[in-house]
Structure 1
Amino acid sequence: MTLSIERQHQTPSNAIAPAKTPVSLSTSIGLLKRQLKSEGISSFEDIAAAIYQHRQSQVEAGLYSYDKFTLEGSKGETQLVCPSTGTLHHCIVWCINHYTGLNRNQKIIDKVCKAVQKFGTGSGTSALSGGMSSLHKEAERRLASLVGKESALLFPTGYSTNLGVISALPGTNDFLLFDREAHASIIDGIKLSGKKFASFKHNSVADLEKKLQKYRHQYENVIVIVESAYSMSGDLAPLKEIVQLKQKYNFHLYVDEAHTFGFYGHQGAGYCQELGVTEEVDFIMSTLSKSTASIGGFIACKSKYIPLLQWSANSYLFQACLTPGDAAAILASLDELAANPELIAQIHQKNSYMREKLTGMGFDLGHSQSPIIPIFIPEPETLQAFNRDLLSEGIYSVAVIYPVVKPSEGRIRFILNASHTYENIDRTLYVLEKLGKKYRLI
């Protein structure tokens, strides 16, 4: 089907020759940028022009999947717009993090509409400047109670939560230790803090202990930062073992629950609650754009830390609050999770079903466990071609490539949510098996 949109194909007026070394069509933009830097190309004008040309070449070859968008928002199945070709595809969508599918829940939509009628469309300013409403305060109270902490602080996004809290929290003589696969928002927060830091091998309790033995005695406080589930690999953190180290080395523990909050633990309280380690975790963070179908983020902790963060985290102090409608969506989502425990059970049942089938076919799923199911395809040309063929079969996801992951660790993720039917799953499995054989992945 052809859409009444113009194809996005223009040539920049300041186009330059590509990189000195020939670049494969499958080369990621990140790798191209790194190559340009290594060849001494430093002007942002030159770099932008070279990247633009490379992207256009990928578009013409059908290998660029990052400019597509949904016609009417995300759900299990949707209409996908491809601007470069002006076409529309009906697809099963596998790259959206609406785990609980509540973004299409009519009860939530109705409550949001009523809230917008009452509270208006925007907050207009930051929390400390008067942007908070009773909806925001109620959301903070409910979130703190749910995850088992004294207080919670609401931020405009999950990214700005990590950025603000991690940059503001550590003192002058404090040290930060983080898992090597931590999200960019965590790493950016660490860098912005200006404090000394080190990483430890992904999910390696042994390497974490080795680093603690090296650094703990040198600093007043050490803050260890992990995610309960990692978005690119889908594996779960060994939180019980990390907590045992905490008892031995007396550090502070910060857990990002972005990919477990809402569908692990009682009423979606998260993975910390499910494992029974909430008391030992000092800071619990999550985004609100995933299971609660809204936007925003929160940090939950002891009340004594809240004023420090309010007055030190710039992304809280100087950024406008999320809208009243967003806060209403969060509250309504929490209501639905509390009232419908079967929703959470269905997500995990579908996860087990799909994993068992893919493993039986012989796909490499790494060490993943959560409803994020990665299929590892390390060869870039195969990865891009595989992804292109998926779309032609009505299956939509995006290739995860450098700099998001290492150049040799490319993958395509299939993120399960409650909106996916078993028919969606079986259709996707059929296509994956066919393409897996075509590209000799199974």
Structure 2
Amino acid sequence: MNTEIMNTDISTPLITYLKQLETQGITDIEVICDKLYEQLSCQIELGLYSNDRYIQFGSDTQGTVVSDSSNSKVECILWCINHYLGLNRNQNVINKVCEAVKKFGTGSGTSAVSGGMSSLHKEVELKIKNLVGKESVILFPTGYSANLGILSTLPGKNDLILFDRESHASLIDGIKLSGKKWIPFKHNNVEDLSSKLEKYSPKFENIFVVVESAYSMSGDISPLKEIINLKQKYKFLLYVDEAHTFGIYGKNGAGYCSELGIVEQVDFIVATLSKATASIGGFLATKSKYMPLLKWRANSYVFQACLTPSDAAAILASLEEIENNPQIIEELHRNNQYMRQRLTSIGFNLGTSQSPIIPIFMPDEAKLMSLNKELFARGIFSVSLFYPIVKPKEGRIRFILSASHTKEQIDKTVNALQELSIKYNIIPPSPLAEWQDDVYYWTSVPESNLVES
């Protein structure tokens, strides 16, 4: 057992430090936990630890943020919440939820196949089916459990899964849980995907291509039309996670696939209901023929309790608000455009992001932690991301826009960032790190699960 540990910088984020311990071959869980706790204690003492903070009265664009470690409360502009349209604070939505609680009670009590479904759940499935334009919809308790259940169930014994290497953890966990062969392709790189399709198509019965329409860590958009064009040459099933586009793109929020007019060419459309629709849950929209398999073999559907009736009511009310008030989507995109213009005019590195997720890249972890600390002191709260959650030397702080953010909130945040950028010498920005094929991140797994013959 190796317990010899190299010295590490006290500002090294815990997630990065954990990866370093694994790289050094430290395997004793007691040693790992002791070292992580020691690092945490030092960061708390220096005021660098931020992941214990929570919003006292729930998600909004402004709120009181409480820190357990520093025993403090700070009134902050909030930039870490995915309620893109602010509907979690919409009075019509809240009223519908209250009515549902009185009529349907609180929890569902059991899974869908065991009697946990209500008329509200069925209404959600029908509403989404008609909105997205697929034959059938199946509702899961969360977006995470949707990806976990679907991807662990659909691929067959002789199938291959190709997935974008920046895919969300729920996608990758579902892929790993399937036990089938898989290979990542370079992020948003249609040429790399094409080369892998050409190489492996003759060797497998089916190939599943798994992507997101917009990526949560980098805020960039998938080249879906170019990926679909590959179907003219190669046979594959396309799985698109619309977690960060459903509700905010397309007519009535039908999603990015709908906006591009490619719903028919996408075999599986998945999304969470915890973001634009201000609730919880996830769904798959696809052909009816896939439903019997999923309803009896996807464990996260069969054995997990349904989302509550009040959650279903929140989804329905949110979709109704989006349909009746399309200007809230327009307001979100105006906020996104305005904040981006201000940040890029200053010189911040926003990568290739386009969606209402705006990352500011900083390869220096110590500077990034200090920046986060000083923003919080000024009443601006978001969350920093470090390796292995993102690529090495691509640490970042994200700003997630809402239609409810005001111009004054955006200006205050950008002005603070401009001042701190001078203090920490982060403009002009450092270039993004070159991608190395032998470095994998996020899931800490090998590059593929494919044994060549």
| TM bracket (short chain) | over 0.9
Which residue of the other structure, out of 358, 366, 369, is the alignment partner of 1:373? 358
- The one-letter code of the counterpart of 2:94 is I
Moved more, 90-99 or 30-39: 30-39
- The one-letter code of the counterpart of 2:207 is V
- Structure 1: gaps spanning 5 or more residues: 1-17
Give the number of aligned pairs: 425
Matches of 1:39 and 1:277, distance apart in 2: 47
Matches of 1:392 and 1:185, distance apart in 2: 33
Residue equivalent to 2:451? none
Kept in 2: contact 1:30–1:403 (CA 8 A)? yes
Kept in 2: contact 1:19–1:35 (CA 8 A)? no
SS at 2:65 equivalent: strand
Which residue of the other structure, out of 172, 180, 193, is the alignment partner of 1:187? 172
Mark the CA change 1:83 to 1:112 in structure 2 (over 3 Å): closer, same or farther. same
How far is 1:248 from its partner? 1.6
Residue equivalent to 1:294? 279
Which residue of the other structure, out of 391, 394, 410, is the alignment partner of 1:406? 391
1:22-65: per-residue Cα shift (whole Å, max 9, x none)?
Answer: 11122122222233234443221221121111111111111111
Matches of 2:71 and 2:16, distance apart in 1: 28
Moved more, 25-34 or 47-56: 25-34
Moved more, 330-339 or 45-54: 45-54
Which residue of the other structure, out of 86, 104, 108, is the alignment partner of 2:93? 108
- The one-letter code of the counterpart of 1:195 is K
Residue equivalent to 1:225? 210
Q: What is the 5 A alignment of 1:17-36? A: 20-36=5-21
- The one-letter code of the counterpart of 2:76 is C
How far is 1:19 from its partner? 6.5
Kept in 2: contact 1:263–1:344 (CA 8 A)? yes
Residue equivalent to 1:95? 80
1:177-233: per-residue Cα shift (whole Å, max 9, x none)?
Answer: 000100000000000000001111000000000000011111111000000000000
Matches of 2:323 and 2:179, distance apart in 1: 41
Which residue of the other structure, out of 122, 143, 147, is the alignment partner of 1:158? 143
Residue equivalent to 1:259? 244
- Structure 2: gaps spanning 5 or more residues: 428-453
1:364 aligns with 2:349: yes
Which residue of the other structure, out of 233, 241, 261, is the alignment partner of 1:248? 233
Matches of 1:162 and 1:389, distance apart in 2: 37
> TM-score, structure 1 length as denominator?
0.95
1:365-422: per-residue Cα shift (whole Å, max 9, x none)?
Answer: 0000000000001111111111111101111001111221123110000000012011
- The one-letter code of the counterpart of 1:389 is E
Residue equivalent to 1:237? 222
- The one-letter code of the counterpart of 2:402 is N
SS at 1:75 equivalent: coil
Matches of 2:101 and 2:61, distance apart in 1: 26
1:51 aligns with 2:14: no
SS at 1:182 equivalent: coil
Residue equivalent to 1:395? 380
Matches of 1:85 and 1:185, distance apart in 2: 32
1:314 aligns with 2:299: yes
- The one-letter code of the counterpart of 1:416 is L
SS at 2:233 equivalent: helix
Matches of 1:419 and 1:281, distance apart in 2: 32
Counting aligned pairs with the same residue, the percent is 61
Kept in 1: contact 2:16–2:386 (CA 8 A)? no
Matches of 1:201 and 1:393, distance apart in 2: 38
Matches of 1:368 and 1:317, distance apart in 2: 37
Matches of 1:148 and 1:432, distance apart in 2: 42
> TM-score, structure 2 length as denominator?
0.92
Q: What is the 5 A alignment of 1:198-217? A: 198-217=183-202
Residue equivalent to 1:8? none
